[in-house]
Chain A
Amino acid sequence: MKKIFTLITFSFLLLILINNSVLADNKISKVDSISKNLRCLICQGQSVYDSQSEFAISVKDLIKKKIEEGNSDNDIYEYLKNKYGNWIMYEPELDKKTLLLWILPLILFVFGGLLIFKKAFINYNKNV
């Protein structure tokens, strides 16, 4: 009976330990994924994730704190955009200024597709 009780207690503790480490890993990976999309403003060319500057370290700590407080990714991005402007974001949002940036690859893709299709169509007609 004592053995069974010890086994149950041990399994329970092991379960808590595993669960805690999984949760901690999730939190760290969430901090990483958010900070990878943020520009380090004092070390241009580096993301907040890559940088070891005091600013980047503070931002990473703040992201962790905000996650613990229950904020979503979007809440954190919005908070930082409010403080530093859109420039802090690596991925630009779709708005008036970035419309061309988002549409241009699509136009090139459609145009390229049309060219290939046309070429194939002409070749097919020739063969027929």
Chain B
Amino acid sequence: MKFKKLNLVLILLITILVFFALYLGMKKQNLYTTDHIVNKKMPNLISTELFTGEEKNLSKLVAKEKFTILNIWASWCAPCRSEHKHLITLSSNNNSKIVGLNYKDKIENAKSFISELGNPYDHILLDKKGFISIDIGAYGVPETYVIDNTNNKIIKKYLGPIDEFILEEIINILNS
């Protein structure tokens, strides 16, 4: 009788524990978010420039401006086409420089993409193997980062193409 009572209590306790664990697991959102990137230092980015073929250092390219907008793109990426007009809008802002990171692309294709749609970038650096993007914490195209040049920290990271809402948000940050 005593054993049976003890068994019942133990089974009940274990069941509650299992359900509690499952509940906690369900509550946790297992989606990749950009939170861990925000406020992180931007790694020192050195790469070849698309048009000049010269090796450039990102921090030296953008030293004078308050903000840097780093946009990862590729000519083979369809959403990159849709966000391009917004990048052109952003290029008129005086507080920032826009740097493009061309991701795993063919140089000829990248150049014809720019000549077809216009060039919003102050500089375009190449990421031929995708290693620079990994170093930044990116995983695909398009991705956009807003970097505060005063402390070299990432303020915002946007996954996917820039739309009207994101454009407005970025303009607000740049004018802040």
With both chains docked as a complex, state the minimum distance between the C-beta of B133 and any C-beta of chain A, in angstroms. 7
B60 within 8 A of A: no
The answer to whether B3 and A58 have CB atoms under 8 Å apart is no
Q: Which residues of B contact A61 (CB under 8 A)?
A: 129-131
The answer to whether A57 and B130 have CB atoms under 8 Å apart is yes
Q: Which residues of A contact B104 (CB under 8 A)?
A: 54, 58
Q: Give chain A's interface secondary structure class.
A: helix
Stretch binding the partner chain, chosen from A1-9, A14-22, A26-34, A81-89: A81-89
With both chains docked as a complex, state the minimum distance between the C-beta of B1 and any C-beta of chain A, in angstroms. 12
Quick one: which of A41, A59, A83, A100 contacts B21, CB cutoff 8 A? A100
Quick one: which of B14, B131, B137 contacts A58, CB cutoff 8 A? B131
With both chains docked as a complex, state the minimum distance between the C-beta of B125 and any C-beta of chain A, in angstroms. 16
Number of interface residues of A (CB under 8 A): 25
The answer to whether A101 and B131 have CB atoms under 8 Å apart is no
Quick one: which of A41, A62, A115, A122 contacts B139, CB cutoff 8 A? A41
Q: How far is the CA of A83 from the CA of B78 in the complex (A)?
A: 26
**Within residues 1 to 35 of chain B, which ones have a CB less than 8 A from any CB in chain A?**
3, 7, 10, 14, 17-18, 20-21, 24-25, 30, 32
B114 within 8 A of A: no
Interface size grouping (class) on chain B: 20 to 34
Give the nearest-CB partner of B21 in chain A: A100
Residue of A80, A87, A122 contacting most chain B CB atoms (<10 Å): A87
With both chains docked as a complex, state the minimum distance between the C-beta of B38 and any C-beta of chain A, in angstroms. 12
**Within residues 56 to 97 of chain A, which ones have a CB less than 8 A from any CB in chain B?**
57-59, 61-62, 65, 80, 83-85, 87
A12 within 8 A of B: no
A24 within 8 A of B: no
23 contacts between A and B (CB under 8 A): A54-B130, A55-B130, A57-B130, A58-B129, A58-B131, A58-B134, A59-B134, A61-B129, A80-B134, A83-B136, A83-B137, A84-B139, A85-B32, A85-B36, A100-B17, A100-B20, A100-B24, A101-B21, A104-B17, A107-B14, A108-B14, A111-B10, A115-B7
